[in-house]
A and B are shown apart, each in its own frame.
Chain A
Amino acid sequence: MSKDIRIKRGLDIKLVGVAEKTTTKIALSSVYAVKPEDFHGIVPKLVAKEGAEVKAGETLFYSKSDERILFPSPVSGKVVEVIRGARRKVLTIKIAADASQVHTDFGVVDVAKMSEQEVKNHLFTSGCWPFIKQRPYDVVANPNQAPKAIFISGYASAPLAADLDYTLAGKEAELQAAINAVSKLTEGKVHLSVGANSNSVLSKLTGVELHKVSGPHPSGNVSTQIANIDPINKGEVVWVVTPQDLVVIGELLLTGKYNAERTIALTGSQFSKPQYVTAIAGAAIEDITKDNLNTDNTRIISGNVLSGSQVTEEGFIGFYDNQITAIPEGDDYEFFGWNKPIFNKISTSRAFTFSWLSPNKKYDLNTNTNGEHRAFVVTGSYENVFPLDIYPMQLLKAFMYKDLDEMEALGGYEVAPEDFALTEFICVSKQPHQKIIREGLDLMRQELG
């Protein structure tokens, strides 16, 4: 049984540097890192101090607000450094990997015989709970609230996104095991979406409600799918898991090992050979991109160009990311850049910009803002790329002036920062939409719970 979701409003941003479908296995990095900032809203309590030996899957820290939520080490090795920022905030925990990896054994389990609580406990102790995120607020799921449904987006529509059909191939057993487990966590349905024309292993899974998605980005964003399938209302919670994380959960259930290895897409014009690699979460960027990356004036992004986070070559790939993007920095002036005809940039308007003439052309965009920050002036353009039944500008403004009633009424429960990536991309006033949404959601979470 499948239901079709067709998205009309949106924008596909076609960039140079699509990953070629070959996978290279990257040798083990010497250093891995876990960044508590990847888990938004979590206050970490350190367990593994500097110098401690850890196994893969062993706890590094836990959440101060809920001690059951553990955060594991992706590899076995020695905690070499804990980097702290202002007010001793933990920024990065670095682990020097052992040459031969040792995994904590969490035991092979039979999901069919487990109760909801047993599944939960198993995910807690194995450190797999952080893979489950929740809406509203787009944070690690609160295990005390019952979700009305669980959503999995098996369709990535973001620019240059890793092709999930390719990266998940051959993982049926793990995925099915994980689906069996997470479906115990909700009274409602497990909704799984795949691309309308895809040949995904996900469409063969049982125990889920399958949806076929088509249309431009953000059709692959899970919020878009939730809004179409079963929108979130006040007081309701849904949980969200990504398919690549399901694979880790599945492997845990089947083998008892926490193995954070995943297929990562190297994309963008600054890679000499955009392709796929397999690497363990938290690996050093340097090791993954070795001999492949043009580092001269390059922006390296863990994630996609719309909602990923900037990292340096010395940095590490984010916990949830399955993509590294590298594009040129645009830190140069452009003579009369504001009024001459433009052929090499994307625009949704036709104001002497010509990307509408060649919809299939691939662009090599850089990080220049193409203008300065201004007050909101132009109206009606966000709606064309924003498929949710929400007034995006009104919601943004409510988030800016922090009127909780309006934030709630206008749809604050239904959005995540990434949903505002396209409106931010096309914003003539160059406003930081995702930052506004993130801060607004944090405020709502703090005030409304």
Chain B
Amino acid sequence: MAQDGPITLTDLVAVLRDCAGEDDGVDLGGDIADRAFTDLGYDSVAMMEVSARMVERFGLRLDEARLFELGTPAEMLRCLNQAAAGDGEVRS
């Protein structure tokens, strides 16, 4: 499950598109790393779904309380990659 190298924005965008869809007015291929998930059209349920699929894909356990503090793709990736470098558990 663990992949070579860090989890990238491309990985996250693929999961976003696949499980939570894409707003017509948003270009997920653009520079979205620091835009808020809410601006990109994703609500809290979408975030639960995205995090479940990211965790499933990369074999990491993501604490739900922590999940809702992750406001942007960059923050989520940082959190996941810290976990990947550690023991697989995402900590705050």
> Do A and B assemble together?
no
